[in-house]
Chains A and B, each alone.
Chain A
Amino acid sequence: MAGIFRRPVLAIGLVITLSLVAVALLSLVWTPSLPSKMNIVQRLKPPLGPGGLLGTDQFGRDVMSMLMVGAWNSLSTSFLAVALGATVGSAIGVLVAMKRGWLELITMRGCDIIFAVPPILSAMMLGAFLGSGRFTAVIAIAVFMVPVFARLTLAAAKQIWARDYVMAAIGIGRSNGRITLVHILPNISNQIIVQVAIQLGLAILTEAGLSFLGLGMPPPAPTWGRMLADSQTFFAQAPWLAILPGLAIALAVLGLNMLGDGLRDVLDPRTRT
């Protein structure tokens, strides 16, 4: 841990991600003003003016407060989706690595197939019968994450199963389940952690896209994606409404990508360059 500042990518990624998490958590207890509080007199005020630090939107709502709550909505949705996808996907991966054979073939082909349906489209299909909302977004993103983690853990677990100490464990009569718990999972957990960080970035991008299309959390909950969608009517008067939420998305994704790459260098030495 002492060497963290010799790894600028990891350090910057960590700082950006932790700051966003802090802002998201802070929004649960405090925002400069209520994000849903309308004030028509102060509508479309530019940043750094009487409308507050980051200006106001078409209803006079405080953009900074909306962005803060948006951070919570975006991060929590993405985190739930990745947690679900990583759990299910990794479970499938280690179980299939235990059995191998035709099960492995089917799993790999199944992964290809799920991967072929873009998450935006599967969300639209799901949205049609679940209705739009956080649940739809979480499921749609998680469905896309399952094959990612299943493939990763299957490949990684297969390598561990071939190691001598696993052979020894089989030799002394340990059950497959126990070997998976004691030997396989601890040895592949680093790779899973790295992938979680990287997929979180992707989940935030997808969540933003879904909210932009109106398939995310319903109003009045502020989301970065819907703030962008709403900004389209006010390009001429209020360009900051289109710029700020996008910056927030890009910053969050950049931070998580850097965190993932930085963690990979530390935790996954084989890819170290």
Chain B
Amino acid sequence: MISILIRRIVSLVVTLLVVSLMIFSVMNLLPGDPAAIMLGTSATPETLAALRAQMGLDEPIVVRYVAWLTGMAQGDLGQSYTYGVPVAGLIAERLVVTLPLALMAVVISVGIAVPLGVAAARRHNGLFDHIAGAISYASIAVPAFWVGLLLIIAFSTNLGWMPAGGFPGWDAGLLAGLQALLMPAIALALPQAGVLTRVARSAVLEVMNEDFVRTARAKGLSERLAVWRHALPNALVPVVTMIGLQFTFLIAGAVLVENVFNLPGLGRLAYQALSQRDIIVMQDVVLFFSALVIIINFLVDLAYLVIDPRLRVAT
């Protein structure tokens, strides 16, 4: 168990290092001098040179990469060119929007997918199964940001029930914050729910024929208990796997949905950094998102070991 854990952690660290190297190389191939862009066309050569020196742009690229890494290890992600503040603070302040948004989306999609998948599996090949199947199949094809636009048209423009966008900040109260995130989270969750419903349904169907479910029924448990207590926990492994695999798409969806709803999250930060050519912010945010995807999948791997003891045997 311990040796598996150590091996996984070593491979996690190596993966993160390679990703950081990849992102750094791409971002530093950018044409255009960040210092010149920041100062505008009216800058004198002297101020430009001073700023380049201050930002370390004259150092060799390897030195800059190592400095970036060692800074990161100490929690220093560098200074934003355009905002003039530490990037770590910028990310932290945007993360309190993006992270709750992603979490809400996962909770909503699981909340829709698991009951729907179980209900469809229990009525295997029945009318309900077919309808649920068709709806979940179709919802996979729908872009999350379009769902967001439709929600705004229906509930903000026409009914006026919900804010059309923006984020009041958590200082305005938990309820106001959650209300601002509700429609974006639903928009993100619906396509995910389609994928998860299909996975949950087929996973439940598969375990329903297992001996332990037959035993549960044979000892007189109600069908409901047999499914929810015995079949479902065993069907969760593929569902959890899929949540991990879909996380890349959830992040991509969040970048778009944040822009639809004008949410000051990480995705919007990346978009703004792109238009301002703020390379430091850009590479930090992309690395942050990629690290998030890698770490989530690492945790999913670990979750298997918890859910399924058979996998704890070292191979």
Contact = CB atoms under 8 A, between A and B. Distances in A.
A239 B297 CA distance: 39
Given A117-B23, A209-B143, A249-B143, A242 B150 contact: yes
Interface in A218-251: 228, 231-232, 235-236, 239, 242-243, 246, 249-251
Interface in B132-187: 137-138, 140-143, 145-146, 149-150, 152-153, 156-157, 164
A246 B140 CA distance: 13
B293 A118 contact: yes
B255 interface: yes
B282 A228 contact: no
Nearest to A235: B157
B143 A246 contact: yes
B140 A257 contact: yes
A128 interface: yes
B271 interface: yes
B27 A125 contact: yes
A129 interface: yes
A125 B26 contact: yes
Contact of B145 (A129, A212, A253): A212
A118 B289 contact: yes
B153 A239 contact: yes
Nearest to B145: A212
Contacts of B256: 120, 209, 212-213
A45 B196 CA distance: 40
Nearest to A129: B30
Residue of A120, A235, A246, A257 with most chain B CB atoms under a 10 A cut-off: A120
Contacts of B73: none
A128 B30 contact: yes
A185 interface: no
A235 B152 contact: yes
B252 A116 contact: no
A119 interface: yes
Contacts of B47: none
A109 B13 CA distance: 12
Interface string B1-32: 00000000001001100110011001101110
Contacts of B79: none
Contact of B286 (A117, A208, A254): A117
A254 B18 CA distance: 36
A127 interface: yes
Contacts of B27: 125, 128
B83 to A, nearest CB: 17
A211 to B, nearest CB: 11
B141 A253 contact: yes
Nearest to A231: B149
A129 B141 CA distance: 31
B19 A117 contact: yes
B157 to A, nearest CB: 4
A120 B146 CA distance: 16
Contacts of B164: 235
A46 interface: no
Given A121-B252, A254-B141, A228 B274 contact: no
A127 B157 CA distance: 33
A228 B274 CA distance: 21
A125 B282 contact: yes
Nearest to B283: A125
Interface of A: 109, 112-113, 115-122, 124-129, 201, 205-206, 208-209, 212-213, 228, 231-232, 235-236, 239, 242-243, 246, 249-251, 253-254, 257
Interface of B: 11, 14-15, 18-19, 22-23, 26-27, 29-31, 137-138, 140-143, 145-146, 149-150, 152-153, 156-157, 164, 248-249, 251-252, 255-256, 259-260, 270-271, 274, 277, 279, 282-283, 285-286, 289-290, 293-294, 297
